[in-house]
Amino acid sequence: MNSAPRILVFDSGVGGLSILEALRQGPGGCDFIYASDNAAFPYGLKTQSFLIERVDNVLKTLIDQTQANIIVVACNTASTVVLSSIRDHFKIPVVGVVPAIKPAAALSSTGMIGLLGTPGTVDRDYTQTLIQDFADDCEVIKVGSSRLVEIAEQSLRGIPPDKIEIGEILAPLFADDKLDTIVLACTHFPLIIQALKDASPRELNWVDSADAIARRVESLIAKRHQQQNLSKPSSVQAIFTEDSDEIDSLRKALSTFGCDDISFCEGIK
């Protein structure tokens, strides 16, 4: 394929920016389209059937409008449910972001790891299968929090996270002092990593999926877009599924991710 990589990075909210950041460190010459389904945010409390239908509809509209040629579902909550159906429905490559349980299990010296995600992600069969396949010899403590997602959203709007509140959310992970590794199984959480570290009682390994996703996308680009101009700077635009005052308070943060071009997507059923 001779066209430039047009990469749709999709999440319910701002979380996928943590994945976009890793992708922006890769080859140049990419057109990134950051898409937030803010109309249906948050995903973490939605049913699986809602998410399957919703993500399919939103992606159809976004692909029609943007002509993206790679989809990155930068959301664990969605990826752990929708990947197989959207791979059936779209002809372009779909890269999913799922909890980094395998590297976390490999990194833990104590065999006790924490899984910090949305309530949806930590309860999924998909996640349970990852644990059985890659962390069978570990004890996995799960914490599902939608509040932490909101805290990350607010943080990008200039409202600093509250250390005491975060400490209370994380407390179940520290009931035993054996736990040494935490999987950030929600793309929102790397955006507040310093606040998470500050609220933790000791040094830990924090593991997320961003670098692995960036490597996967880079290999797709190398295979499918050999003619791209690597020296050309990449471009970034953001698309939201609903116009709202909330977007204005995000402009400054979006700009730090290279994104000053913000628009809204019409026509989603």
Active-site residues: which are they?
A: 75, 186
The residue from 10, 34, 41, 206 that contacts ligand DGL (CB under 6 A) is 41
State which of residues 63, 116, 138, 186 lies at the interface with ligand DGL (CB under 6 A). 186
Residue 17 phi/psi, 5° resolution?
-65, -25
Stretch of 75-83, 100-108, 205-213, 230-238 lying at the interface with ligand DGL (CB under 6 A): 75-83
Q: Which residue has the tokens 């779209």?
A: 90
Q: How is residue 145 annotated by DSSP? A: -
Count other Cβ atoms within 10 Å, centred on residue 155: 18
How many of the chain's residues bind ligand DGL (CB under 6 A)?
18
Please state the closest distance from residue 39 (CB atom) to ligand DGL, in A.
12
The answer to whether 77 contacts ligand DGL (rule: CB under 6 A) is yes
Helix H or strand E encompassing 24:
helix 17-24
Distance CA 54, CA 80 (A): 14
Q: Which residue among 4, 5, 35, 44 contacts ligand DGL (CB under 6 A)?
A: 44
b/e string for 223-244 if b means 16 or more Cβ within 10 A? ebbeebeeeeebbbbbbbbeee
Site string for ligand DGL, 137-166 (x = CB under 6 A): ---------x--x-----------------
Q: Provide the binding-site residues for ligand DGL, judged by CB under 6 A.
A: 11-13, 15, 41-44, 75-77, 118, 121, 146, 149, 186-188
